[in-house]
Amino acid sequence: MSKHILIADTLQASYAIKLILTREGFQVTLASSSEEALAIVQRGDVDLALVAFDLDSDDETRGLALINRFIALQSCPIIATVEEHQAEVTRELIRNGAMECLLKPVTRELLLPILHTALERSQVIRRLAAARHRQGEKYGIEQLAPSSSPFMQQIRLRIRQVAPSDVSVMILGESGTGKEMVARAIHMESPRKDGPFVALNCGALPADLVEAELFGHERGAFTGAVQTRLGLFEQAQGGTLFLDEIGDMPLPMQVKLLRVLEERKVTRVGARGEIDIDCRVLCATHAHLADQAADGRFRKDLYYRLQVMQIDLPPLRERGDDVVHLAESFIEDFMGHPVRLQESTRDALRRHPWPGNVRELRNAVERAIVLAGSRLTELDRHLVEQCRPTSSSSSALRATPTQAPTRPDAVALPSAAPRSADDQLAQLLDALLDARARDDSSQESVLDFLERHAILAAYARCSQNKARAARLLGIERKAFERRLARYLPE
């Protein structure tokens, strides 16, 4: 495993950490300024970066901005180091994408386990990125279903039927079912395959920008138009233009789109002359356009113009064992070798409703692989956790739970967690209060009762790591240690 670490901190702090790491066989590069450190990370030369929150300044706003700049590069995992008085920013740093936050002074015992875990995840993330790049080179629908699937066979047949001509095709399906993949497959099976494939999500742009995006604009056509820009119709000349979520297109723009489709000419915003266009138009939507057309929310004439041929993509929950075969296929793509999931994992995949469809499944597989790291035995467990309706992906703030010690007054927590964090806290408090109400002999106040259980539960959950438990509860470490000493059994 590659072990090149960047340390961006003051010279005194950097040399202290470097001494620890070089003795453990790490290659270490030092940087004493943010610009120097950013340049090193941007080159992709390091596997992990330890960046001081106050590298540029003690100002909290500037510190957050600095760490966010490193995170935005997405070149390697970032571990932030903070002083004790800066501990309140750790939650925001983790939420923004830092892999971990460490309190200074950083000790060998705390640093090394975290570094090894972070480097392991770094390798997994890089393999996932390479796998996504390889998958991006595939245009076809192999990523939507196994070749033996009846669903795949029907989609292949319909693609072969519609690809050779320039007929308009409407692709219908829920979000995440793979509508753009099918559009790309039609393009690559068509005579236009050597031309460009240009895509636009009609719901992702403000209404006043859709026209300029589709048709282009001349210099000075409106404020901010500093130069002439080709529209997507022109960029797609000789190829295919894919309009995703066509149902979200504003009504005034629908009139102009219909005219372009009928006359095969566009006029740039701010221009007088017309430009001939030669591209095929494919559309997709998750909405019921027929209902929208009947209600006047979508133009009927445009609807009939686009709905010459139709391809329906069923949701993943209605496709039987496709979900199992797809999950194992994604794992093989990401890990480079076949993996057969346990039968209990397969059952969990089949039971999950997959509201996000294939996209959700792919993301769930990726999260499971990242969390499992090199421990293949953990892959099934993490994937099953992704299938729980109320589960959320683990963050660097959350350690692997350990079994808390059995106590006579232990609280039985609910087995099914609520959906929102507020609901979960409310249900947890209800359970704690119920347990307190049953213990009539206790002279402990309700608030002390709640605090004691919170302190001990966080300590157990974080594997007796006091710094991490303090961050989990949102309090300073010294305050946590004082409370722990009060409540921890002898």
How much is the CA Rg of the chain, to the nearest whole Å?
Answer: 28
Q: Is the pLDDT higher at 302 or at 223?
A: 302
pLDDT for 485 equals 78
User: Average pLDDT of 129-146?
Assistant: 53
- Rounded Cα distance between 7 and 5, Å, is 7
- Rounded Cα distance between 57 and 62, Å, is 7
For residue 408, pLDDT beyond 60: no
Q: Could you tell me if 69 and 41 are in contact, meaning their C-beta atoms sit under 8 angstroms apart?
A: no
User: Average pLDDT of 30-38?
Assistant: 83
Q: Among all chains, which residue has been given the structure tokens 């279903």?
A: 145
The secondary structure of residue 286, as a DSSP letter, is S
Query: Where does 169-206 have alpha helices with state H?
Result: 179-188
For residue 141, pLDDT beyond 90: no
The pLDDT tens digits for 82-103 are 887 776 777 777 767 788 888 8
317-386 domain in CATH 2.60.120?
no
User: Average pLDDT of 214-218?
Assistant: 89
User: Average pLDDT of 381-400?
Assistant: 56
pLDDT band at 394 (very low <50, low <70, confident <90, very high): very low
User: Average pLDDT of 429-435?
Assistant: 59
Q: Is the pLDDT higher at 424 or at 310?
A: 310
Q: Among all chains, which residue has been given the structure tokens 């974080």?
A: 462
* CATH class (in words) of the domain with range 141-314: alpha beta
For residue 402, pLDDT beyond 50: no
Q: What mean pLDDT is reported for the chain?
A: 78
| CATH architecture of structural domain 4-119 | 3-Layer(aba) Sandwich (3.40)
Structure tokens at 233: 């119709």
For residue 327, pLDDT beyond 80: yes
For residue 222, pLDDT beyond 80: no
For residue 348, pLDDT beyond 80: yes
Q: Which residues lie closer than 8 Å to 136 by C-beta, 6 or more apart?
A: none
pLDDT for 94 equals 76
Q: Could you tell me if 225 and 219 are in contact, meaning their C-beta atoms sit under 8 angstroms apart?
A: yes
The secondary structure of residue 107, as a DSSP letter, is P
For residue 162, pLDDT beyond 90: yes
